[in-house]
Amino acid sequence: MGYEKYFSEEHNIFRQQVRNFVEKELAPHAEEWEEAGLFPREVFKKMGDLGFLGLRYPEQWGGSEGDYWYTVVFNEELPRCLSAGVALGIMVQTDMCTPAIVAHGTDEQKEEFLAPAIRGEKIGAICVSEPGAGSDVKALRTRAVKDGDYYVINGSKTFITNGTRADWLTMAVKTDPDAGYGGISMFLFPTDTPGFSVTRKLDKLGNRASDTAELAFDDCRVHKKYLLGEENKGFYYIMEGFQFERLAGAVGIVAGAQLLLDKTIEYCRTREVFNKPVSRHQANAHLIADLATELEAAKALVYHCADMVNKGENAIREVSMCKLFTGELACKVADRCVQLHGGYGYMEEYYAARAFRDTKLGTIGGGSSEVMRDIIARMMQL
């Protein structure tokens, strides 16, 4: 509906390539990977071989140097794998743990971490949240104390997607505990560092095909060459990265909600109640019309934000609005779609049940809805 202007023929060809891969190589395994609680490491390698993991990144490191609309296409097609956990694990690689390396990493760091991440040979994780600090980044307690050419890191992290098998972490730590936001630094942390351990794989409500972990750091000595960017500038790098993380998430959230609604409409057209299809009952038809309308509005907001980011504009306010609106709307769509399925919507054999569980993360991960409202209010000078 007027969005054609954003996509070239090359974008459309790429969309079909991603869709073919996702539907043929990933979707058939969704149930298996959900039950296993993990999808195979080889998925990263296959996607790397196809050039899917470095769409916006420099060719020097194996990327494609595409515009942001390639990221939009990719994240719109990922939900067709029918497992939000798989989509999340991949998105961490493409839009969460690597952007800061591109923006602030040294050539040596890019060679060691970015290039193999783009090839799908190394798996990364973004590592900010702790048992006592999530949205309140300044409350981080994991410490990095300088000792000659090394930093000694102690502390713990939690809710880390890809955490059980990550080869490295893009990690926020306190380097100056008395400086609040100004005392945070970012490190690229190799997980074969002595003293590092995965203390627990977390059992989640949804997104079950992705691994989420608690991590511990016990006197981990990390060379200063792994400091990402400047010391004590980590908070600004985190905020910068959130713009990409939240927008990428919103793209996938809207696409996933639309996919769920489309599947629900198909069901409602074939399932009969009181001698006519569910969709022919006016109350249901009007409900579906409302959901379709709200999703169209959400897509317009997503594309507006994507256009701003693609032009290099500061979109923090708009992306925060986008994250808030799409996350809350997707939960509404999931709830109504389960209801439209009736008793079958409560059965795990139907996609609606899994989508209902998976969707809730959109209002929590990457900054909760409450935090988004706070950011928007501050930027409105309220």
Residue among 108, 4, 119 at smallest CA distance from 57: 119
Residue among 184, 175, 299, 313 at smallest CA distance from 237: 184
Distance CA 271, CA 265 (A): 10
Q: Does residue 245 have an active-site annotation?
A: yes
> Which residues on neighbouring strands pair with residue 213, listed in sequence order?
160, 201
* Continuous segment of H or E residues that includes residue 37: none
53: phi then psi, degrees, rounded to nearest 5: -100, 0
**56-64 contact pairs (CB < 8 A, 24+):** 56/102, 57/98, 57/102, 57/114, 57/118, 58/102, 61/110, 61/111, 61/114, 61/115, 61/118, 62/115, 62/118, 62/119, 63/118
Extract the tokens encoding 323. Answer: 């994250």
- Annotated catalytic residue, options 32, 245, 318, 348: 245
Would you give the end-to-end CA distance of the chain in angstroms?
35
**Amino acid at the residue 299:** K
Distance CA 160, CA 164 (A): 8
Residues 6+ apart with CB under 8 A from 15: 7, 73, 76, 77
Distance CA 271, CA 264 (A): 10
Distance CA 209, CA 304 (A): 31
Residues 6+ apart with CB under 8 A from 181: 137, 138, 235
Extract the tokens encoding 277. Answer: 């299809």
Catalytic residue list: 245
